[in-house]
Structure 1
Amino acid sequence: MDHAAEARAVYLDLLAVAPEGERFVALLGPHEPGFWEAFQNSPEAADRAPDPMDRWSKRVIGALATQWGGSAVFPSDGPPYPPFIRWALGSGQVWQSPVGLLVHPRQGLWTSFRGAILLDHAPLLPELANPCLSCGDQPCLNACPVNALSATSYDTDACHELLSTENGADCLNMGCAARRACPVSTSYGRKADQSHFHMRAFHPA
Protein backbone atom coordinates (compact mmCIF):
# COMPACT_ATOMS: atom_id res chain seq x y z
CA MET A 1 0.00 0.00 0.00
CA ASP A 2 1.45 3.35 -1.07
CA HIS A 3 -0.03 5.59 1.61
CA ALA A 4 1.59 8.78 0.28
CA ALA A 5 0.22 8.24 -3.24
CA GLU A 6 -3.25 7.41 -1.95
CA ALA A 7 -3.24 10.59 0.16
CA ARG A 8 -2.15 12.68 -2.82
CA ALA A 9 -4.99 11.21 -4.87
CA VAL A 10 -7.40 13.10 -2.58
CA TYR A 11 -5.17 16.22 -2.44
CA LEU A 12 -3.62 15.48 0.93
CA ASP A 13 0.05 15.13 1.79
CA LEU A 14 1.34 12.47 4.19
CA LEU A 15 3.67 14.84 6.01
CA ALA A 16 4.93 12.77 8.92
CA VAL A 17 4.51 9.56 10.91
CA ALA A 18 4.95 9.51 14.68
CA PRO A 19 4.73 6.77 17.32
CA GLU A 20 1.76 6.88 19.67
CA GLY A 21 1.97 4.14 22.27
CA GLU A 22 1.86 0.83 20.42
CA ARG A 23 0.34 2.50 17.36
CA PHE A 24 1.44 5.10 14.81
CA VAL A 25 -0.12 8.37 13.76
CA ALA A 26 0.01 9.49 10.13
CA LEU A 27 -0.23 13.29 9.92
CA LEU A 28 -2.00 14.69 6.85
CA GLY A 29 -1.93 18.21 5.43
CA PRO A 30 -2.98 19.93 2.21
CA HIS A 31 -1.25 18.81 -0.98
CA GLU A 32 -0.59 21.62 -3.43
CA PRO A 33 -1.22 22.13 -6.21
CA GLY A 34 -4.76 20.86 -6.15
CA PHE A 35 -5.98 20.94 -2.54
CA TRP A 36 -7.52 24.41 -2.67
CA GLU A 37 -9.36 23.76 -5.92
CA ALA A 38 -10.62 20.39 -4.63
CA PHE A 39 -12.00 22.06 -1.54
CA GLN A 40 -13.55 24.96 -3.49
CA ASN A 41 -15.38 22.48 -5.73
CA SER A 42 -16.63 20.37 -2.82
CA PRO A 43 -20.20 20.20 -1.49
CA GLU A 44 -18.93 21.51 1.85
CA ALA A 45 -17.67 24.72 0.25
CA ALA A 46 -20.98 25.24 -1.55
CA ASP A 47 -23.57 24.51 1.13
CA ARG A 48 -22.95 27.69 3.21
CA ALA A 49 -22.97 25.71 6.46
CA PRO A 50 -20.37 26.50 9.16
CA ASP A 51 -16.83 25.10 9.16
CA PRO A 52 -16.70 23.90 5.55
CA MET A 53 -13.01 22.96 5.51
CA ASP A 54 -13.25 21.02 8.77
CA ARG A 55 -16.22 19.10 7.36
CA TRP A 56 -14.38 18.44 4.08
CA SER A 57 -11.43 17.14 6.08
CA LYS A 58 -13.59 14.83 8.17
CA ARG A 59 -15.27 13.37 5.12
CA VAL A 60 -12.12 12.85 3.06
CA ILE A 61 -9.79 11.75 5.85
CA GLY A 62 -12.52 9.58 7.37
CA ALA A 63 -12.79 7.71 4.07
CA LEU A 64 -9.01 7.39 3.86
CA ALA A 65 -8.90 6.00 7.42
CA THR A 66 -11.42 3.32 6.44
CA GLN A 67 -9.36 2.50 3.37
CA TRP A 68 -6.20 2.16 5.48
CA GLY A 69 -7.83 0.23 8.32
CA GLY A 70 -7.24 2.99 10.89
CA SER A 71 -9.16 5.63 12.81
CA ALA A 72 -9.29 9.33 11.96
CA VAL A 73 -8.36 12.09 14.42
CA PHE A 74 -8.82 15.83 13.90
CA PRO A 75 -7.38 19.00 15.49
CA SER A 76 -10.92 20.12 16.39
CA ASP A 77 -11.67 16.93 18.37
CA GLY A 78 -11.94 17.95 22.00
CA PRO A 79 -11.43 19.14 24.57
CA PRO A 80 -9.11 17.51 25.33
CA TYR A 81 -7.56 18.15 21.93
CA PRO A 82 -5.27 15.66 20.20
CA PRO A 83 -1.54 16.54 20.57
CA PHE A 84 -0.83 17.35 16.92
CA ILE A 85 2.18 19.54 17.74
CA ARG A 86 3.72 16.84 19.95
CA TRP A 87 3.10 14.26 17.27
CA ALA A 88 4.64 16.46 14.60
CA LEU A 89 7.77 17.27 16.58
CA GLY A 90 8.11 13.63 17.62
CA SER A 91 8.08 12.42 14.03
CA GLY A 92 11.55 13.68 13.10
CA GLN A 93 10.00 15.03 9.89
CA VAL A 94 8.63 18.35 11.19
CA TRP A 95 10.55 20.91 13.24
CA GLN A 96 10.11 24.14 15.15
CA SER A 97 11.27 27.11 13.08
CA PRO A 98 13.18 30.15 14.40
CA VAL A 99 9.84 31.97 14.77
CA GLY A 100 8.22 29.10 16.65
CA LEU A 101 5.95 27.93 13.83
CA LEU A 102 6.23 24.36 12.56
CA VAL A 103 8.25 23.85 9.39
CA HIS A 104 8.28 20.96 6.90
CA PRO A 105 10.72 20.43 4.00
CA ARG A 106 7.90 20.51 1.42
CA GLN A 107 5.50 23.03 2.93
CA GLY A 108 7.88 25.39 4.70
CA LEU A 109 6.04 27.62 7.18
CA TRP A 110 2.71 26.88 5.50
CA THR A 111 2.78 23.58 7.42
CA SER A 112 -0.66 22.64 8.68
CA PHE A 113 -2.58 19.48 9.47
CA ARG A 114 -6.11 18.72 8.33
CA GLY A 115 -6.17 15.54 10.38
CA ALA A 116 -4.40 12.30 11.20
CA ILE A 117 -4.97 8.56 11.02
CA LEU A 118 -4.07 6.18 13.84
CA LEU A 119 -2.68 2.92 12.46
CA ASP A 120 -1.27 -0.36 13.71
CA HIS A 121 1.58 -0.06 11.20
CA ALA A 122 3.94 2.77 10.24
CA PRO A 123 3.67 4.03 6.64
CA LEU A 124 7.10 4.43 5.09
CA LEU A 125 8.35 7.94 4.39
CA PRO A 126 11.70 9.12 3.02
CA GLU A 127 14.17 10.58 5.48
CA LEU A 128 13.86 14.37 5.58
CA ALA A 129 16.14 17.19 6.76
CA ASN A 130 15.24 20.32 8.71
CA PRO A 131 15.27 23.11 6.07
CA CYS A 132 16.01 25.79 8.66
CA LEU A 133 19.48 24.33 9.26
CA SER A 134 20.54 25.26 5.73
CA CYS A 135 18.70 28.60 5.64
CA GLY A 136 21.48 31.11 6.29
CA ASP A 137 19.45 34.34 6.14
CA GLN A 138 16.39 33.05 8.03
CA PRO A 139 14.18 35.84 6.60
CA CYS A 140 11.22 34.71 8.71
CA LEU A 141 12.86 36.34 11.75
CA ASN A 142 12.45 39.87 10.42
CA ALA A 143 9.34 39.56 8.27
CA CYS A 144 6.56 40.22 10.79
CA PRO A 145 5.66 43.95 10.80
CA VAL A 146 4.94 43.90 14.54
CA ASN A 147 7.47 41.26 15.66
CA ALA A 148 4.65 39.08 16.96
CA LEU A 149 6.56 35.83 16.48
CA SER A 150 9.56 34.42 18.29
CA ALA A 151 10.95 31.01 19.14
CA THR A 152 9.26 31.14 22.54
CA SER A 153 6.05 33.14 22.11
CA TYR A 154 3.35 34.38 19.76
CA ASP A 155 1.82 37.78 20.52
CA THR A 156 -1.65 37.19 19.10
CA ASP A 157 -2.89 40.56 20.39
CA ALA A 158 -0.27 42.41 18.35
CA CYS A 159 -1.16 40.30 15.32
CA HIS A 160 -4.88 41.05 15.62
CA GLU A 161 -4.22 44.75 16.14
CA LEU A 162 -2.18 44.88 12.93
CA LEU A 163 -4.82 42.98 10.95
CA SER A 164 -7.42 45.55 12.01
CA THR A 165 -5.49 48.36 10.30
CA GLU A 166 -4.64 49.28 6.71
CA ASN A 167 -1.04 48.26 7.41
CA GLY A 168 -2.24 44.72 8.01
CA ALA A 169 -4.01 44.36 4.66
CA ASP A 170 -1.04 42.57 3.10
CA CYS A 171 -1.00 39.87 5.78
CA LEU A 172 -4.79 39.62 5.79
CA ASN A 173 -5.06 39.20 2.02
CA MET A 174 -1.85 37.31 1.22
CA GLY A 175 -1.16 35.41 4.43
CA CYS A 176 1.23 35.83 7.35
CA ALA A 177 4.35 37.72 6.24
CA ALA A 178 6.65 35.47 8.28
CA ARG A 179 5.21 32.35 6.68
CA ARG A 180 5.56 33.88 3.20
CA ALA A 181 9.18 34.86 3.84
CA CYS A 182 10.30 31.25 4.26
CA PRO A 183 12.19 30.18 1.09
CA VAL A 184 10.48 26.78 1.16
CA SER A 185 7.05 28.40 1.50
CA THR A 186 7.58 30.34 -1.73
CA SER A 187 7.87 27.11 -3.73
CA TYR A 188 4.94 25.33 -2.09
CA GLY A 189 2.22 26.65 -4.40
CA ARG A 190 -0.30 27.91 -1.86
CA LYS A 191 -2.60 30.52 -3.39
CA ALA A 192 -3.35 33.90 -1.87
CA ASP A 193 -7.11 33.30 -1.67
CA GLN A 194 -6.51 30.19 0.42
CA SER A 195 -4.36 32.22 2.82
CA HIS A 196 -7.06 34.90 2.92
CA PHE A 197 -9.64 32.22 3.80
CA HIS A 198 -7.58 31.11 6.80
CA MET A 199 -6.69 34.64 7.89
CA ARG A 200 -10.37 35.56 7.89
CA ALA A 201 -11.11 32.53 10.05
CA PHE A 202 -8.38 33.70 12.46
CA HIS A 203 -9.36 37.38 12.26
CA PRO A 204 -13.05 37.76 11.31
CA ALA A 205 -14.20 41.11 9.94
Structure 2
Amino acid sequence: MILARGMIDGITAALGANGLILRGGFVFPDNEGSPHGPSGAPARSLLLVGHAGAAPWPHFLGWGEQQPQAIANPLDTWSREIIGAIAEKFGARAVSPSDKPYLPFQQWAMRAEGLKPSPLGILMHPQYGLWHAYRGALLFEDEIALPEQAAAIHLCDTCIEKPCLKSCPVDAYSREGFAYQACLAHVRGGNGEPCRSGGCLDRNACPYGTAYRYPPEVQAFHMASFARARS
Protein backbone atom coordinates (compact mmCIF):
# COMPACT_ATOMS: atom_id res chain seq x y z
CA MET A 1 0.00 0.00 0.00
CA ILE A 2 1.25 3.51 -0.82
CA LEU A 3 0.73 6.10 1.90
CA ALA A 4 -1.73 8.80 0.91
CA ARG A 5 -0.59 12.39 0.44
CA GLY A 6 -3.13 13.45 3.05
CA MET A 7 -1.27 11.44 5.68
CA ILE A 8 2.00 13.20 4.85
CA ASP A 9 0.20 16.53 5.15
CA GLY A 10 -1.17 15.48 8.54
CA ILE A 11 2.28 14.48 9.78
CA THR A 12 3.72 17.76 8.52
CA ALA A 13 1.06 19.75 10.39
CA ALA A 14 1.54 17.78 13.61
CA LEU A 15 5.29 18.33 13.50
CA GLY A 16 4.90 22.00 12.64
CA ALA A 17 2.84 22.56 15.77
CA ASN A 18 6.04 21.76 17.70
CA GLY A 19 8.53 23.62 15.52
CA LEU A 20 9.64 20.44 13.74
CA ILE A 21 9.70 19.64 10.03
CA LEU A 22 9.95 16.65 7.74
CA ARG A 23 13.49 16.37 6.39
CA GLY A 24 12.83 14.10 3.43
CA GLY A 25 12.51 10.36 3.21
CA PHE A 26 12.97 7.34 1.01
CA VAL A 27 11.79 3.80 0.32
CA PHE A 28 14.10 0.95 1.28
CA PRO A 29 14.96 -1.24 -1.74
CA ASP A 30 13.78 -4.85 -1.60
CA ASN A 31 17.34 -6.16 -1.27
CA GLU A 32 18.31 -3.84 1.58
CA GLY A 33 17.95 -4.74 5.22
CA SER A 34 15.95 -2.18 7.16
CA PRO A 35 14.96 -1.60 10.80
CA HIS A 36 11.64 -3.06 11.84
CA GLY A 37 8.43 -1.12 11.63
CA PRO A 38 5.61 -0.83 14.19
CA SER A 39 4.49 -4.47 13.92
CA GLY A 40 8.01 -5.92 13.88
CA ALA A 41 8.08 -6.50 10.13
CA PRO A 42 10.86 -4.80 8.12
CA ALA A 43 10.21 -1.13 7.46
CA ARG A 44 9.47 -0.24 3.87
CA SER A 45 9.73 3.56 4.12
CA LEU A 46 11.36 6.22 6.26
CA LEU A 47 10.58 9.87 6.96
CA LEU A 48 13.22 11.95 8.72
CA VAL A 49 12.16 14.48 11.35
CA GLY A 50 14.22 17.49 12.34
CA HIS A 51 14.27 21.24 12.38
CA ALA A 52 15.82 24.31 10.78
CA GLY A 53 17.17 26.99 13.08
CA ALA A 54 15.79 27.19 16.61
CA ALA A 55 12.09 26.82 15.74
CA PRO A 56 11.46 24.06 18.34
CA TRP A 57 13.07 26.01 21.18
CA PRO A 58 9.94 27.82 22.54
CA HIS A 59 7.98 24.54 22.43
CA PHE A 60 10.78 22.70 24.21
CA LEU A 61 11.06 25.38 26.90
CA GLY A 62 7.29 25.36 27.50
CA TRP A 63 7.35 21.58 27.88
CA GLY A 64 10.30 21.78 30.28
CA GLU A 65 8.50 24.24 32.53
CA GLN A 66 5.73 21.67 33.05
CA GLN A 67 8.01 18.82 34.09
CA PRO A 68 7.85 17.93 37.80
CA GLN A 69 11.61 17.40 38.10
CA ALA A 70 14.87 17.83 36.23
CA ILE A 71 15.46 15.44 33.35
CA ALA A 72 18.92 14.20 32.44
CA ASN A 73 18.54 14.56 28.66
CA PRO A 74 15.60 16.92 28.27
CA LEU A 75 15.82 17.73 24.55
CA ASP A 76 16.13 14.06 23.66
CA THR A 77 13.23 13.23 25.97
CA TRP A 78 11.06 15.98 24.49
CA SER A 79 11.87 14.87 20.93
CA ARG A 80 11.04 11.25 21.72
CA GLU A 81 7.74 12.27 23.32
CA ILE A 82 6.62 14.47 20.42
CA ILE A 83 7.76 12.19 17.60
CA GLY A 84 6.55 9.09 19.43
CA ALA A 85 3.03 10.50 19.76
CA ILE A 86 2.96 11.37 16.07
CA ALA A 87 4.23 7.91 15.15
CA GLU A 88 1.47 6.30 17.19
CA LYS A 89 -1.18 8.49 15.58
CA PHE A 90 -0.06 7.73 12.02
CA GLY A 91 0.90 4.07 12.35
CA ALA A 92 4.67 4.37 12.36
CA ARG A 93 7.55 3.37 14.60
CA ALA A 94 9.58 6.29 15.99
CA VAL A 95 13.36 5.98 16.30
CA SER A 96 15.91 8.41 17.68
CA PRO A 97 19.56 9.20 16.91
CA SER A 98 20.40 8.21 20.51
CA ASP A 99 18.83 4.74 20.25
CA LYS A 100 21.25 1.88 20.85
CA PRO A 101 22.47 0.16 18.83
CA TYR A 102 22.90 3.37 16.91
CA LEU A 103 21.03 3.74 13.64
CA PRO A 104 22.71 5.34 10.57
CA PHE A 105 20.98 8.72 10.81
CA GLN A 106 23.71 10.63 9.00
CA GLN A 107 23.65 8.18 6.10
CA TRP A 108 19.85 8.36 6.05
CA ALA A 109 20.03 12.17 5.96
CA MET A 110 22.51 12.21 3.09
CA ARG A 111 20.28 9.81 1.23
CA ALA A 112 17.03 11.65 1.94
CA GLU A 113 18.24 15.20 1.28
CA GLY A 114 21.31 14.70 -0.90
CA LEU A 115 23.57 16.48 1.60
CA LYS A 116 27.30 16.08 2.27
CA PRO A 117 29.32 16.64 5.46
CA SER A 118 31.01 19.98 6.08
CA PRO A 119 34.60 20.06 7.39
CA LEU A 120 33.03 20.10 10.87
CA GLY A 121 31.18 16.86 10.22
CA ILE A 122 27.76 18.56 10.35
CA LEU A 123 25.87 18.10 7.11
CA MET A 124 25.87 21.28 5.04
CA HIS A 125 22.40 22.30 3.89
CA PRO A 126 22.07 24.68 0.90
CA GLN A 127 19.52 26.84 2.76
CA TYR A 128 20.09 26.23 6.47
CA GLY A 129 23.87 26.00 6.39
CA LEU A 130 25.04 24.26 9.58
CA TRP A 131 22.02 25.40 11.59
CA HIS A 132 19.72 22.40 11.44
CA ALA A 133 19.38 19.01 13.11
CA TYR A 134 17.66 15.65 12.95
CA ARG A 135 15.59 14.63 15.96
CA GLY A 136 14.17 11.29 14.87
CA ALA A 137 12.62 9.27 12.10
CA LEU A 138 9.32 7.58 11.36
CA LEU A 139 9.45 4.03 10.02
CA PHE A 140 6.49 2.70 8.04
CA GLU A 141 5.75 -0.78 6.74
CA ASP A 142 4.05 0.72 3.67
CA GLU A 143 5.57 2.54 0.74
CA ILE A 144 5.64 6.33 0.69
CA ALA A 145 5.17 8.18 -2.59
CA LEU A 146 7.81 10.91 -2.49
CA PRO A 147 9.11 13.17 -5.27
CA GLU A 148 12.59 12.37 -6.52
CA GLN A 149 15.25 14.22 -4.52
CA ALA A 150 17.31 16.64 -6.59
CA ALA A 151 21.02 16.78 -5.89
CA ALA A 152 21.78 19.54 -3.37
CA ILE A 153 24.47 22.13 -4.02
CA HIS A 154 27.33 21.48 -1.61
CA LEU A 155 28.35 24.96 -0.50
CA CYS A 156 31.62 23.76 1.05
CA ASP A 157 32.92 22.90 -2.44
CA THR A 158 32.86 26.57 -3.44
CA CYS A 159 34.06 27.97 -0.10
CA ILE A 160 37.73 28.84 -0.62
CA GLU A 161 38.62 30.47 2.69
CA LYS A 162 37.16 27.74 4.95
CA PRO A 163 36.79 30.02 8.02
CA CYS A 164 35.26 27.04 9.85
CA LEU A 165 38.78 25.58 10.09
CA LYS A 166 40.47 28.77 11.29
CA SER A 167 38.46 30.13 14.22
CA CYS A 168 38.94 27.57 16.99
CA PRO A 169 41.67 28.58 19.48
CA VAL A 170 42.78 24.95 19.88
CA ASP A 171 42.36 23.92 16.24
CA ALA A 172 39.83 21.27 17.19
CA TYR A 173 38.75 20.81 13.59
CA SER A 174 41.12 20.13 10.74
CA ARG A 175 41.21 18.15 7.54
CA GLU A 176 42.43 15.25 9.66
CA GLY A 177 39.25 15.20 11.75
CA PHE A 178 37.91 16.36 15.11
CA ALA A 179 40.26 16.60 18.10
CA TYR A 180 37.58 15.70 20.63
CA GLN A 181 39.71 15.75 23.77
CA ALA A 182 41.32 19.10 22.90
CA CYS A 183 37.91 20.65 22.27
CA LEU A 184 36.40 19.25 25.46
CA ALA A 185 39.33 20.38 27.61
CA HIS A 186 39.16 23.89 26.16
CA VAL A 187 35.39 24.23 26.59
CA ARG A 188 35.70 23.12 30.21
CA GLY A 189 38.75 25.28 30.91
CA GLY A 190 39.32 28.86 31.92
CA ASN A 191 39.61 30.13 28.36
CA GLY A 192 36.48 28.38 27.14
CA GLU A 193 33.90 30.96 28.19
CA PRO A 194 33.31 32.32 24.64
CA CYS A 195 32.50 28.79 23.48
CA ARG A 196 30.36 27.99 26.52
CA SER A 197 28.26 31.14 26.21
CA GLY A 198 28.10 31.58 22.45
CA GLY A 199 28.72 28.20 20.88
CA CYS A 200 31.42 26.69 18.70
CA LEU A 201 33.54 29.44 17.14
CA ASP A 202 34.27 27.36 14.05
CA ARG A 203 30.59 26.67 13.46
CA ASN A 204 29.69 30.32 13.92
CA ALA A 205 32.39 31.33 11.44
CA CYS A 206 30.59 29.59 8.57
CA PRO A 207 29.10 32.26 6.26
CA TYR A 208 26.14 30.15 5.11
CA GLY A 209 22.64 29.88 6.56
CA THR A 210 23.22 32.68 9.05
CA ALA A 211 19.50 33.55 9.10
CA TYR A 212 18.99 30.18 10.83
CA ARG A 213 21.85 30.50 13.32
CA TYR A 214 20.83 29.32 16.78
CA PRO A 215 20.49 32.14 19.33
CA PRO A 216 23.27 32.28 21.96
CA GLU A 217 21.10 30.68 24.64
CA VAL A 218 20.41 27.68 22.41
CA GLN A 219 24.08 27.32 21.54
CA ALA A 220 24.99 27.61 25.23
CA PHE A 221 22.51 24.83 26.04
CA HIS A 222 24.10 22.48 23.52
CA MET A 223 27.63 23.40 24.59
CA ALA A 224 26.77 22.74 28.24
CA SER A 225 25.54 19.31 27.22
CA PHE A 226 28.81 18.69 25.38
CA ALA A 227 30.84 19.88 28.38
CA ARG A 228 29.10 17.33 30.60
CA ALA A 229 30.12 14.49 28.29
CA ARG A 230 32.52 11.87 29.58
CA SER A 231 36.14 12.32 28.61
User: What secondary structure is seen at the aligned counterpart in 1 of 2:208?
Assistant: helix
Cα deviation code 1:31-62 (max 9, x no counterpart): 44531111001147743132211111111111
The residue aligned with 1:71 is: 93
The residue aligned with 1:38 is: 59
Task: Give, in whole Å, the separation in 1 of the partners of 2:186 and 2:165.
Answer: 17
Cα deviation code 1:69-96 (max 9, x no counterpart): 3211101211x11111221222343211
- Bigger Cα Rg: 2
User: What secondary structure is seen at the aligned counterpart in 1 of 2:80?
Assistant: helix
Task: Give, in whole Å, the separation in 1 of the partners of 2:14 and 2:211.
Answer: 23
Note closer, same or farther for the CA distance 1:15–1:45 as it changes in structure 2 (3 Å cut).
farther
The residue aligned with 1:13 is: 21
Task: Give, in whole Å, the separation in 2 of the partners of 1:140 and 1:60.
Answer: 33
The residue aligned with 2:228 is: 204
Cα deviation code 1:178-205 (max 9, x no counterpart): 2112222421041111111111111029
2:72 to 33, 50, 57: 50
User: What secondary structure is seen at the aligned counterpart in 2 of 1:10?
Assistant: coil
Task: Give, in whole Å, the separation in 2 of the partners of 1:44 and 1:56.
Answer: 12
The residue aligned with 1:98 is: 119
1:86 to 89, 107, 110: 107
Amino acid at match of 2:45: F
The residue aligned with 2:46 is: 25
User: What secondary structure is seen at the aligned counterpart in 2 of 1:91?
Assistant: helix
The residue aligned with 1:163 is: 187
Task: Give, in whole Å, the separation in 2 of the partners of 1:142 and 1:34.
Answer: 29
1:179 to 203, 209, 215: 203
Note closer, same or farther for the CA distance 1:21–1:66 as it changes in structure 2 (3 Å cut).
farther
RMSD value, Cα? 2.6
- TM-superposed deviation, 1:152: 4.5
User: What secondary structure is seen at the aligned counterpart in 2 of 1:166?
Assistant: coil
Cα deviation code 1:103-158 (max 9, x no counterpart): 22333223322111113315448644323234343321212221112345211101
Task: Give, in whole Å, the separation in 2 of the partners of 1:167 and 1:193.
Answer: 19
Contact 1:11 1:32 in 2 (8 A): no
The residue aligned with 1:110 is: 131
| TM-score, normalised by the number of residues in structure 1 | 0.85
Amino acid at match of 2:190: E
Task: Give, in whole Å, the separation in 1 of the partners of 2:107 and 2:212.
Answer: 24
Contact 1:18 1:88 in 2 (8 A): no
